[in-house]
Amino acid sequence: MAFIVLLITIIWIAFEHSMGWNTVRHDTGEYARMLPAFVYWASIFILIKNIRREQGTLTFAQGRKAGILTALIYSLGFTVIIIFYQQFINPEFYPTLKAFTLAKLHAHNATQAQIDSEMKELQMSFSGSAVSYVMLFAFSFVWGVLLSAIASAIYKTKKTVSS
């Protein structure tokens, strides 16, 4: 499942790039960039539900194990994709996103403290530094682990009492 979602992610990023959503149309890109995350999160629920359907039964531990493995594979793959994208395909991503964000903050009459805070967050998240990539991996992985616990709790089969 993780590999299918990674393929969808690659296709979506290529589409976004071709539409200019990560270059000159950050106004659309700031929303469009969320699609792979939603697909990834939904895939964890689909995966765990499918395991229960195929096996006929599912323990919480089985669901968590499958979800964590999927989260690990996806998070590593997604981080590599983003590193490749930012370093080789669109090295201007961060500078253009930074300029877009600054213009948006100025248009909304943000205070200097708000601007400084937003710029710090932007740098930590999108600057292309090792820290930003570690945070990307950690964020993706932690969300996957949390959602796998929720999906496992929802889809686990109830124990029956035998007489």
Task: Parse the chain into domains and list their residue ranges.
Answer: 2-153
List the chain pLDDT tens, one digit each, 163 residues.
999 999 999 999 999 999 999 999 999 999 999 999 999 999 999 999 999 999 999 999 999 999 999 999 999 999 999 999 999 999 999 999 999 999 999 999 999 999 999 999 999 999 999 999 999 999 999 999 999 999 999 999 987 655 5
3-class DSSP assignment, residue 102: helix
CA–CA gap between residue 156 and residue 159 (Å, rounded): 9
- SS in 3 state form for 29-52? HHHHCCHHHHHHHHHHHHHHHHHH
| pTM over cut 0.95 | no
Which is nearest to 120 in space by CA: 98, 148, 104, 90?
98
CA–CA gap between residue 20 and residue 132 (Å, rounded): 23
